[in-house]
């Protein structure tokens, strides 16, 4: 079976006809529009209608036709398969692929190990890498240029040019 990728979570019903409010974990709206079936909990369902509402999505899934049906999937996690993910442009990488990568201090790709990426935090202004250092300390690194110099998927490393004092925070 192809890996399942978490792309969202149902938060609450909307109205009386089975629509639900969804927190969207994907930064690409087309994954919702172009995927034939979204896995709702453990059951595949098609998206009949969808609209954006503030920072959420409101979705009508097939087979969810009443407020009671919608209530039954409250807090359900929503998945697609790896094959459903949109193709990336040259030089792009999925956020989930950053997790587990080693962050190395620039300018030398063989330089000092800062730590491993444990999580990518979606901040309103920019993504932030939560990195665990070899001594167990947690460091937050903004995932922006010029701080992130290079991401090498093959080596599993991120070359970072950290501002002075960032590791001391």
| Residue count (the chain) | 169
Query: Can you tell me the distance from the alpha carbon of 118 to that of 130, in angstroms, rounded to the nearest whole number?
Result: 6
Q: What is the pLDDT of residues 10-52, one digit of tens each?
A: 999 999 999 999 998 876 788 888 888 999 988 999 999 999 9
Could you tell me the pTM of the whole model? 0.63
CB atoms within 10 A of CB 24: 18
Are residue 40 and residue 8 in the same domain, yes or no? yes
Residue 167 forms part of a structural domain = no
Q: What is the pLDDT of residues 51-107, one digit of tens each?
A: 998 878 999 999 999 999 999 999 999 999 878 777 777 777 777 788 899 999 987
Are residue 102 and residue 146 in the same domain, yes or no? yes
Are residue 102 and residue 140 in the same domain, yes or no? yes
Whether the CB-CB separation of 27 and 19 falls below 8 Å is answered with: no
Are residue 65 and residue 135 in the same domain, yes or no? no
Residue 123 sits in which domain range? 95-162
Q: What is the pLDDT of residues 98-138, one digit of tens each?
A: 889 999 998 766 778 999 999 888 777 888 899 999 999 99
Query: Can you tell me the distance from the alpha carbon of 126 to that of 79, in angstroms, rounded to the nearest whole number?
Result: 24
Looking up residue 55, the CATH number of its domain turns out to be 2.40.30.60
Are residue 70 and residue 102 in the same domain, yes or no? no
pLDDT of residue 109: 66
Closest CA relative to residue 138, chosen from 118, 112, 158, 160: 118
């Amino acid at each position: 079976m192809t890996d399942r990728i978490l792309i969202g979570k149902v938060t609450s019903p909307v109205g009386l006809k089975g629509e639900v409010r969804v927190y969207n974990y994907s930064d690409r709206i087309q994954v919702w529009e172009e995927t034939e079936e979204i896995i709702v909990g453990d059951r595949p369902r098609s998206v009949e209608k969808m609209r954006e509402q503030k920072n959420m999505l409101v979705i009508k899934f097939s087979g969810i036709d009443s407020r009671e049906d919608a209530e039954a999937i409250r807090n359900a996690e929503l998945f697609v398969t790896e094959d459903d993910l949109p193709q990336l442009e040259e030089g792009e990488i999925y956020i989930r692929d950053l997790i587990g990568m080693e962050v190395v201090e620039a300018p030398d790709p063989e330089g000092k190990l800062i730590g491993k990426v444990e999580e990518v935090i979606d901040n309103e202004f920019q993504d932030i890498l939560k990195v665990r250092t070899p001594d167990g300390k947690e460091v937050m690194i903004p995932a922006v240029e010029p701080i992130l110099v290079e991401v090498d998927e093959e080596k599993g490393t991120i070359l970072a040019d950290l501002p002075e004092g960032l590791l001391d925070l």
